[in-house]
Amino acid sequence: MKIMLIALPTKNIGNQFPNLGAIAIAQTVRDLGHDVHLIDTVRYNYSKEEIVSEISRIKPDLIGLSGLITSYYYFEPLVAAVKKSFPKIPLIVGGSITSAIDLIEKYTEVDYVVKGEGEDCISELLSRLSSARSLDVSGIPGLFAREEGKFTHPTAEQSYPDLSKIPIPAYDLYDLDYYIDSSTKNVYRSLKIYPEIRKKIGEDVRFFPIVISRGCPFSCLFCYRLIKKHRHPPVDKTIRHLRMIKEELRCSGITLLDELIIVDKKWFIELCDAIARELPGLKIFSGAGRVDLVTPEIISHAKKAGFIRFGCGIESGSQVILNNLNKKTTVQQNLDAIKLIKESGIMATCNLLFGGPGESKESLGETERFIRENLDPRDYAVNFAYAYPGAPLFDYAVDEGILKPGHIHDYVLNANFGDYPLNFSKFNSADKLYKEVGSMQFRLKVHSLWEGREYKSLAAAIARHLVLEVLYLLSKISPRMIGAIRSINDKRRLKMFRAKLDVKK
């Protein structure tokens, strides 16, 4: 059979990573003896018409689509165009976009949806499609199949493939130089504010994006990737994978995209020791930490293995907010982990999440004090709580009436979630929340620059803040004016991005 896979884009035109799930499925399908063709809309800005033309040329027997929930804006109209031209070719979709399964059922003509990891599901489905005239999908793990316009639920729960048997992804289907270049630029942008680490690793390390383990056993309120069972491949298989990346692809650095690689402490330490022994000089840029799992032993072995960054989602300096986000961590654990990582000489970039349920002036004040006393500006990144379908926070938004049922389709289809803010906080609007967080950031920056006696930078920061204040006031007087400014800036940024990367229009 001929299988076409379409890797869907997201609205984020910044850091570009390959859809690793799609090429993991691609290699599984190849190993079953099928022909695989991949359309990478992340790398190339394909129009719906161009994809329809490619389908006409390839004439696939099955089309698979894979993407994040933030791919939905592209996914729904693409499915409509494909089904209009090729109504008899079955469509199957997988990835976290399937958290919007109710919308997929109601607003698209997709034939199959895979919930969870897809290797076992697609293998069984292809076997039955190849051999049967009348298709019985019962017993296929995690597969929803459309019957008379509605999806029938799987008779077998989603599977958790044995990662010791999963092949190395079909990297050759992607323009690897593009993704290596994007990943490398992202790392070096981060290292600009860490000159001491940048000096140690040099200027010519190429970083390759990779996922080693799968799953996370925790249930944070804002997370939509809730595959609970954490698994990892054997250490020797991982080393072979990393050696291939280092030797064949000439990448002596990796960007580790795992959700949470340190769940199994024993395995992680064995892996680090094997990397240090067999792949000396490898540099690892990772964000897969969790403060209550970070220990001196973990960090000691990570440093020997070449970790240069160990990011953690500390989320807040307020225990009330941590509890509301179901983090099951404490402010003290946040502090202990940050200190431990920083003292080791590894970057300790912390993600902060503002605007969760219960966020208030008091909780922002607690977080501000935590930052002022324990972090410097390069140690943290600011994010806001968005309700993605599939996350407990999304259900909370609907249950509390923050997101009306009649608005859900528009929210998912048309919104870049940050442009469609939902207010979970105690502030009277999301706009007020953003203003308070911005003011907090300004105060922290002024404090840091003053303490560092960087008076020239301080003057520039104050001037920029005044300009932003004027724009904020103008937005209250004339929202259209600010909308026009944002539109011009977004178009200019997209034009510059496409020109820089020479992507296909």
Q: Which residues pair with 150 in a beta bridge?
A: 147
Cα 89 to Cα 79: distance, rounded to the nearest angstrom: 11
Which of 113, 233, 106, 125 lies closest to 169 in space, CA to CA? 233
In this prediction, residue 376 carries a pLDDT of 79
Cβ atoms of 67 and 118 closer than 8 Å: no
Digit-coded pLDDT (tens) for 448-504: 888 878 878 888 878 887 877 777 677 666 656 556 555 555 554 444 444 444 433
Q: What is the mean pLDDT of the chain?
A: 88
In this prediction, residue 228 carries a pLDDT of 77
Cα 266 to Cα 204: distance, rounded to the nearest angstrom: 33
Q: Which of 35-44, 154-163, 174-183 has the lowest mean pLDDT?
A: 154-163
* Residue ranges of domains in the chain, CATH in brackets: 2-152 (3.40.50.280), 175-385 (3.20.20.70), 389-423 (no CATH)
Digit-coded pLDDT (tens) for 5-22: 999 998 765 557 889 999
In this prediction, residue 489 carries a pLDDT of 53
In this prediction, residue 134 carries a pLDDT of 55
Mean pLDDT is highest, among 38-47, 194-203, 223-232, for: 38-47
Which of 496, 468, 415 lies closest to 73 in space, CA to CA? 415
Q: Which residues pair with 4 in a beta bridge?
A: 37, 63
Cα 323 to Cα 468: distance, rounded to the nearest angstrom: 33
| Buried b / exposed e along 33-56 (16+ C-beta atoms within 10 A) | ebebbbbbbbbeebebeebbeebe
In this prediction, residue 493 carries a pLDDT of 46
DSSP sequence for 175-217: -HHHHHHHHHHHHHHHHTT-HHHHHHH-S---EEEE---B--S
Cα 322 to Cα 240: distance, rounded to the nearest angstrom: 39
pLDDT, mean of residues 61-87? 95
In this prediction, residue 15 carries a pLDDT of 56
Question: Which regions of 411-470 does DSSP assign to beta strands (E)?
Answer: none
Digit-coded pLDDT (tens) for 237-266: 999 999 999 999 999 999 999 989 999 999
In this prediction, residue 338 carries a pLDDT of 92
- Report the alpha-carbon angle 155-160-163, nearest 5: 150
Q: Which of 61-70, 96-105, 128-137, 196-205 has the lowest mean pLDDT?
A: 128-137
In this prediction, residue 498 carries a pLDDT of 43
Digit-coded pLDDT (tens) for 357-386: 999 999 999 999 999 998 877 788 888 999
Cα 328 to Cα 319: distance, rounded to the nearest angstrom: 10
Q: Give me the percent of the chain exceeding a pLDDT of 70.
A: 90
Strands 143-147 and 283-289: unpaired
User: pLDDT-derived band of residue 403, with 50, 70 and 90 as boundaries?
Assistant: very high
In this prediction, residue 460 carries a pLDDT of 84
For tokens 């970790």, the residue is 307
Q: Which amino acid, residue 118? A: G
In this prediction, residue 497 carries a pLDDT of 41
In this prediction, residue 11 carries a pLDDT of 76
* 3-state SS string for 118-141: CHHHHHHHHHHHHHCCCCCCCCCE
In this prediction, residue 483 carries a pLDDT of 60
Which of 477, 496, 438 lies closest to 13 in space, CA to CA? 496
Cα 157 to Cα 115: distance, rounded to the nearest angstrom: 9
In this prediction, residue 99 carries a pLDDT of 92
